[in-house]
Amino acid sequence: MIRPCYPTQLGASASAPIRSAVCSEIKRFETGLNRTDREIRKFENKYQISYDIFVREYTAEDMDGGDDEYVSRMGEIKIRRKIAGELGRLKETEYVTQRISA
């Protein structure tokens, strides 16, 4: 589920365009994560296994679709990990403004 991103969550000191851009990126990552999770759930339902077990124990020979299906599923899992990492880093971003006197 995509949660709304309110610019005020990013700190009052951040400028509006930066807050808006960060919110847009968070939404984009959350949308990608949701899509990837749906694809992974399809796979988990088909084989009745979690993706963690798949990564540890399965090979292309275990898949109905052979190499193509294995590469596709492993790709979805790697994409999910990458998106989740990027999303986590983006959500942890803090904004600090400092005035430097001349």
Reported as a single tens digit per residue, the pLDDT across 10-32 is: 555 557 787 788 889 999 999 99
pLDDT, tens only, 29-81 = 999 999 999 999 998 998 899 988 988 998 889 888 899 999 999 999 999 99
pLDDT of residue 99: 56
Instruction: Enter the pTM of the model.
Output: 0.70
Q: Give me the long-range contacts of 88-97 (CB less than 8 A, separation at least 24).
A: 90/22, 90/25, 90/26, 90/29, 91/26, 93/10, 93/22, 94/11, 95/10, 95/11, 95/13, 95/14, 95/18, 96/11, 96/13, 97/13, 97/14
